[in-house]
């Protein structure tokens, strides 16, 4: 879903649904299918999302950066690479064509960490402490995950002169 500043992948919700279906299958197979009369609202957790912010000029970094905001509803290892591209024209929605469209990588950061369930994490491209990227054109950022799932989370493209 694009809300004007980012694309959201509701990966935490998908993982929760898979775990729920597996748990239900185990309960049904054991013949012990019983459910509590009501669920307590104070123990319910909102589903987590992964959001790649649109590239923007950061006064602190002195150039263009993008942020990945990550939360998963289960604990585990996370591995992702964040990319920041500059394109001469508005890029297509198919990231595999970006290089052929003249887009060039301006920054790349690889992260790995042990995530705690329902904790929020923010990662940057370029990383904190590095200068922001420069150039005029269409900027796009994306995160390529290898753990806990394989997939791409793109941002929307924005025109920036930096």
Decide yes or no: CATH 2.60.40.10 for domain 6-161. Answer: yes
Say what the pLDDT of residue 46 is: 63
**19 with 74: CB under 8 angstroms?**
yes
Q: Give the chain's length.
A: 162
pLDDT of 19 higher than 60: no
Residue with tokens 């509701």: 10
Domain boundaries, the chain: 6-161
Say what the pLDDT of residue 10 is: 37
Is the whole-model pTM more than 0.75? no
CB atoms within 10 A of CB 32: 8
- Could you tell me the CA-to-CA distances from 36 to 30, 33, 40 in Å, in that order? 17, 10, 10
């Amino acid at each position: 879903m694009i809300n004007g500043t980012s694309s959201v992948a509701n990966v935490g919700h998908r993982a929760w649904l898979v775990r729920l279906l597996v748990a239900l299958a185990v309960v049904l197979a054991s013949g012990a299918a019983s459910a509590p009369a009501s669920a307590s609202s104070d123990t319910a957790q909102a589903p987590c999302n992964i959001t790649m912010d649109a590239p923007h000029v950061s006064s602190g970094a002195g150039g263009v950066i993008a942020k990945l905001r990550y939360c998963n509803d289960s604990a585990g290892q996370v591995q992702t690479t964040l990319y920041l591209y500059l394109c001469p024209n508005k890029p297509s929605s198919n990231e595999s064509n970006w290089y052929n469209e003249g887009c060039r990588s301006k920054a790349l950061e690889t992260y790995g960490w042990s995530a705690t369930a329902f904790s929020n994490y923010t990662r940057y491209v370029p990383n904190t402490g590095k200068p922001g990227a420069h150039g005029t054109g269409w900027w796009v950022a994306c995160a390529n995950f290898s753990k806990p799932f394989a997939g791409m989370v793109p941002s929307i493209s924005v025109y920036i002169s930096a």
